[in-house]
Structure 1
Amino acid sequence: MKLDLQRFYQACNPSPLNMGNAEERKYYIDFSSVRGGNIIRELGRTVTRLSPDKPTCQLFTGHIGCGKSTELQQLQADLEQQGFHVVYFESSQVLEMADVDVTDIMLAIARQVSASLEAIQIKLKPGYFTNLFTEIADFLQTPIDVSMEAELSVGIGKLTAKTKDSPKLRNQLRQYLEPRTNGILEAINKELFGVAREKLKQQGKKGLVVIIDNLDRLENSVKPTGQIQPEYLFVERGEQLNQLNCHVVYTIPLVLIFSNALGRLTNRFGGDPKVLPMVPVQVRSGGESKEGMALLQQMVLARAFPDVNVVERVNKITEVFDSPETLARLCRVSGGHVRNLLVLLSRCLERDDPPLSRDCLEGVIRQRRNALILALTEDEWILLREVAQQKSLRGEERYQTLVRDMFVFEYRDEDGSWFDINPILREAKELQL
């Protein structure tokens, strides 16, 4: 089977895989054996084995672009196969990520769940929300055309559309909703989730699961309380987010793992957040991670030859690269960050057709390295040298500087977390010790 160039170009798009699509599922590689555990299996077992009938709330995080969305869609597919009704949505599509409050998240969940239920002919008419929409329209003194017969998802959709692009209206709405937060939570639990769970059981479903993706992209804007937005939502207001009457998985910003508020976060939700680390390209001591490198190479080859088995793909490397060493170089310099790897590969394909040359790859690497170098200060170079020597990182401030901007990556092994410099930066002359 020859390389289908058009299909390969499309498969190298660095967007998350749609695990509901049979073709895209062929590109999926299970990295759990080198990531320190099967995080998605653990999330799923909490729902299916430990507490199938009692609501659960779990937190999931990791570097942006490390593969969380693909893994969460895999979780969705697994849970649906086991008989759960799963509502997965990307919060960045429905929320203004620079300015989010608890009621925004609750209304977004209510909207997405009701729309998902309506799609399978479960239509709910929560009386609380019908009255609430009328009161809000009067309070905002702006028309919101929601008929008494409209579905809940339509009502919330029209409300959020009015306020999404208007900070003034959004603030006015929050002033109205804030003292009613507990009432909204109670109505969601009783009139929406409570009724939905009963009707889903009548259809043979085991329960309701809501997966809210992309909340890890919340901006670190400062709230009136003086807290950054992630800490305000998940620590200060986490108790309310933890009270939804269904199984919930929230993605959260990785900054919270490095924050002094981590202990309070754990207390709010009754467990530690689960972290999806990088795929290791080397071990803590400095040697190459053979298994991590092999799986990353399979990720690339699966997108080139999705219908070829694992062993035969390796024999076809030279149809995509000028040598096996060029593919190894691509995987190594990605640092095990799956989106980085696909971005570098896509840049190569923009420049040339396969088989991709080592010169083409090195040109792309130099371009990416130069972009990263321009963003670094002298103080940050000093911190990077410390990470290179110590393989450790402590404190929220250093996280903000190094991890958020992907200058440093986190890995896991049997001894826990360790950190290393983004391999593209490691070759910069400023780090040559």
Structure 2
Amino acid sequence: MRKASQISEIYQTVDPEEPIHRADPRYVDLSPARGDEDFVRHILRRVRHSPPGRYHCHLVTGHRGCGKSTELLSLKAELEKERFLVAYVDAEETLDIADVEYLDVLIAVISAWTELARREGLPIRQALVEDIERWFAEVELVEERLEERELAAKGGGEAKAEIPLLARLFLNVRSQLRSGDRVREEVRRKIERRLRDFLDRANLLLDQIGVLAGQRGHAGLVTIVDNLEKIPLKILDASSGLTNHAAIFVEHAEALKALHSHLVYTVPVTLLNDRNLGMAYPDLDMLPMVKIATVDGAPYPPGVRLLEEVIRRRVEVEAVFSDPAALEELIRMSGGVLRDLFRLIRFAADYAPEDGRIAPEHVQRAIRKLIREYDLLIHEEDLDLLRKILRDPHPPASDRLARLMYNRLALPYQDEERWIAVHPAARRSPTLQAYLEKP
């Protein structure tokens, strides 16, 4: 992609929603400013060395916009180089992300594998397909029986029959899970009552796909489920503090791990300090923010330079900014959050004339806009903890901290140790500033 050399081109080249992979010329390795962890290398090694018949399950977390999808796409490419067959599931596209339960995730994974098997031309045994269809009919997940399907094919149903039956079955269930609340809950409960049967059939299907893939030289099956960290946080039980995040990934960990595929799930950052999550899953990696300051608040020039390179690979900075030094101010205000940095540049472009350049006053307006956004996220009950984090970057785990991290009011960084900082935009919010000025 050509670099932006004028304001109107920034909207195409600086896109906060576009993940890229390591082969992309715009990719910049940010690991030197993220600490010493590289989850792509970790997962590759664990998958590569898993014993036959054993499946590795790995969780990845981090804030929205920190670059997880870019790294996961890179992981997919690296796995494929090693001849693994990879199903990549974008939860945001596949599920109703505002209302997700663990069963929805399982259905999305199996549906993705049926579609991948179709694309790869892997001939699933007809007897297994018919067994799955019968089970779906018994559980009343589909209305059409085998006999009815045959009649439909004879009576003008050929167009519908063009979609392979197995893929159509799972698409049907997925569409029900995206329907109204009543239908969604009914489908979930029907499957849950016979969960063991469902998992058994799902694994028979995955086993057969694995055998067929192996015959074509593939080393195994890997499933990557991205964007689950975007599931909105909900409190399910105020007395116990149980959240929907814990209900999905902790209470139903065994079901999520039961599939016969190596598994990589993204999980919400709220679970980062959940002791039970660490007990349920052997491996959890966090992608921290790009460090632009040290734990004691001193500037960290290497991180700033890396983020400047990210932008320079997308934008002709001297052509677009009247003062290129203003880019560093946007980088520092982003807190090392790639998504916020991209948004800040777009905000500044919004304020600049299309036939002109981004001037310092446009940068300041962009910064004020981001500050206003974060100011609206701060609740009165957050203020004391935000002040404590400003004084001590190692706060103990708590439900309140989880909420601050989910909303990016508090950001995780890592060098030899992990530490937390208040987002620069939140730090400058009028609400927090007024609270800090109180005697």
Class of the TM-score when normalised by the shorter of the 2 chains: 0.7 to 0.9
Report what 2:181 is aligned to. 167
CA distance in 2, matches of 1:422, 1:2: 29
Alignment of 1:51-200 (within 5 A): 54-124=54-124, 125=126, 126=128, 127-137=130-140, 147=149, 150-190=164-204, 192-200=205-213
Report what 1:292 is aligned to. 303
TM-score (normalised: structure 1):
0.87
CA drift of 1:18 comes to 4.0
Residue 71 of structure 2: SS of its match in structure 1? helix
CA drift of 1:2 comes to 8.0
CA drift of 1:3 comes to 4.8
Residue 32 of structure 1 aligns with an amino acid whose one-letter code is S
CA, structure 1 residues 52+63, in 2 after alignment: closer, same or farther (shift >3 Å)? farther
Report what 1:310 is aligned to. none
CA distance in 2, matches of 1:87, 1:104: 16
CA drift of 1:224 comes to 8.4
Which of residues 251, 258, 270 is equivalent to 1:255?
270
CA distance in 1, matches of 2:186, 2:381: 42
Count, aligned residues: 411
CA drift of 1:343 comes to 0.7
Report what 1:245 is aligned to. 260
Residue 298 of structure 1: SS of its match in structure 2? helix
Residue 28 in structure 1 maps to residue 27 in structure 2? yes
Which of residues 260, 268, 278 is equivalent to 2:289?
278
Alignment of 1:355-370 (within 5 A): 355-370=357-372
**% same residue:** 26
Which of residues 223, 241, 245 is equivalent to 1:230?
245
Residue 268 in structure 1 maps to residue 280 in structure 2? yes
Report what 2:154 is aligned to. none
CA distance in 1, matches of 2:66, 2:173: 34
Q: Is the contact made by 1:193 and 1:246 (CA closer than 8 Å) also made in structure 2?
A: yes
Residue 419 of structure 1 aligns with an amino acid whose one-letter code is I
CA, structure 1 residues 10+393, in 2 after alignment: closer, same or farther (shift >3 Å)? same
Q: Is the contact made by 1:144 and 1:158 (CA closer than 8 Å) also made in structure 2?
A: no
Residue 122 of structure 1: SS of its match in structure 2? coil
Q: Is the contact made by 1:334 and 1:341 (CA closer than 8 Å) also made in structure 2?
A: yes
Residue 67 of structure 1 aligns with an amino acid whose one-letter code is G
TM-score (normalised: structure 2):
0.86
CA distance in 1, matches of 2:379, 2:428: 17
Aligned-CA RMSD value: 2.6
Q: Is the contact made by 1:98 and 1:220 (CA closer than 8 Å) also made in structure 2?
A: no
Residue 210 of structure 2 aligns with an amino acid whose one-letter code is R
CA drift of 1:402 comes to 1.7
Query: For each residue in 1:55-81, what CA deviation from the matched residue of structure 2 results, as whole angstroms up to 9, or x when unmatched?
Result: 111111011121111111111111111
CA, structure 1 residues 400+38, in 2 after alignment: closer, same or farther (shift >3 Å)? closer
CA drift of 1:54 comes to 3.0
CA, structure 1 residues 7+167, in 2 after alignment: closer, same or farther (shift >3 Å)? same
Q: Is the contact made by 1:52 and 1:207 (CA closer than 8 Å) also made in structure 2?
A: no
CA drift of 1:52 comes to 7.3
CA distance in 1, matches of 2:378, 2:44: 40
CA, structure 1 residues 52+14, in 2 after alignment: closer, same or farther (shift >3 Å)? farther
Structure 2 regions of 5+ residues with no counterpart?
151-160
Q: Is the contact made by 2:4 and 2:314 (CA closer than 8 Å) also made in structure 1?
A: no
Q: Is the contact made by 1:19 and 1:73 (CA closer than 8 Å) also made in structure 2?
A: yes
